[in-house]
Amino acid sequence: MSTPSDAASSLLLGTGIGCFLITGFGLVQGRMDFETMSIGWLFPLLGALLILLPKSLRSESGLLSELFPDEDDEMMSERVRSEIETTVKDGSVSSAWAELETAVLESELSEE
């Protein structure tokens, strides 16, 4: 199975190529021309951007590297397991504080 980074790279690259394909069809059908600037020229710009973005996924400090990590199934399961353990520990600490606070409030109320 591919990593999230690989899947996102393929999707971005395919979408970028599709934008260039849209531009080519627009030029062939005469809906776009080189002489006038129209909104159709956003497609090749968007295509170039989408083709360059997968390179930022491969670097660890890229724009999208945090959203689409480059980790395999084992690494992802270990990360999720550690996050669940941390959440459970935080929940048990919170419940312990809540029980302690309840006990203190009950003792204060019983003294009155």
Summarised one tens digit per residue, pLDDT across range 43-101 is: 999 999 999 888 877 766 667 777 777 777 787 788 889 999 988 888 888 888 888 88
d(CA 72, CA 74): 6
Residue 19's pLDDT is what? 94
- Amino acid (1-letter code) at residue 14: G
**pLDDT band for position 1 (50/70/90)?**
low
Q: Find all residues with CB under 8 Å of 88, minimum gap 6, and list them.
A: none
pLDDT recorded at residue 50: 92
pLDDT of residue 48: 94
pTM over 0.75: no
